[in-house]
Amino acid sequence: MKKFYTFLIIFIGASIGGSLRYLIGLMFTVSSGFPWGTLFVNLTGAFVLPLLIHYLHDKFHLQVDTVLSLTTGLLGAYTTFSTFTADTYKLFQTSNYMMLSGYLIATLLGGFLCAIFGNYLAANLATKEYLREKKES
């Protein structure tokens, strides 16, 4: 029964994440051919994941199922490696090498920098929280 509950909570998170990704894709539809929507969801996902894992989980003592729902479910469906790969191939196929290079750099380097910033922010928030609690006691 526990595994079914875990499956269900991830399923709910994935439904929300996939729906958010679709809505953002609609918002970022442009005629330039550059996949702004995919870039946005992947960069914001790279930023939010460490915040969820390192700050919110610790601060609110979230249950494992809640963390799985938010990370594997919501963010797993929200971010998309398969769409990134398809967009990359589409830019390659159209010989748009400048846009392809920019997209690869923005996604890979940008994702890495967003993850670093998310980890930094999580650590900073946790430290401030710890110092505030220590000061109050």
Binding site for Na(+), by residue number, is: 76, 79
Q: Does residue 106 contact residue 36 with C-beta atoms inside 8 Å? A: no
DSSP 8-state assignment for residue 32: T
Cα–Cα distance, 90 to 39 (Å, whole number): 14
Q: Which residues line the annotated binding site?
A: 76, 79
DSSP 8-state assignment for residue 49: H
